[in-house]
Amino acid sequence: MRLYHNPRCSKSRQALALLNERDIDFEVYLYLKVGISEDDIDLLSSLDGIIRKNDLEKDSNIDFSDNEEVSKLLKTQPKLLQRPILVLGDKAVIGRPPENILTLLHDA
């Protein structure tokens, strides 16, 4: 289990706390330092709402229904990744609200 985490984000810190409170074994993945994992890029680019649209440049013309385009954007600008995200195998969930990540724990 991997948590895409940004320590500066309050929602991300809340998700981290939820997992720690439940004594869940997971990897904290600091994507802003290391980028998006190649193992996860296809899965993440297929999630609705994966891009932080408020952080996009105003003149960007991104087709959010095109997974290839979203994938390229995430690879080149990982800061645009919505967070937090919990990945478990071939499933992932955006933690907005942070409690959403708990839905994956049933599959753990």
Give the model's pLDDT for residue 82.
97
CB 78 within 8 A of CB 33: no
Distance CA 11, CA 40 (A): 21
Give the model's pLDDT for residue 16.
98
9 is catalytic: yes
Which domain range does residue 30 map to? Answer: 2-107
* Tens place of pLDDT per residue across the chain (108 aa): 999 999 999 999 999 999 999 999 999 999 999 999 999 999 999 999 999 988 887 767 888 899 999 999 999 999 999 999 999 999 999 999 999 999 998 765
Q: Among the options 1, 2, 9, 96, which is catalytic?
A: 9
User: What CATH number is given to the structural domain containing 22?
Assistant: 3.40.30.10
Distance CA 23, CA 74 (A): 30
Q: How many domains does the chain have?
A: 1
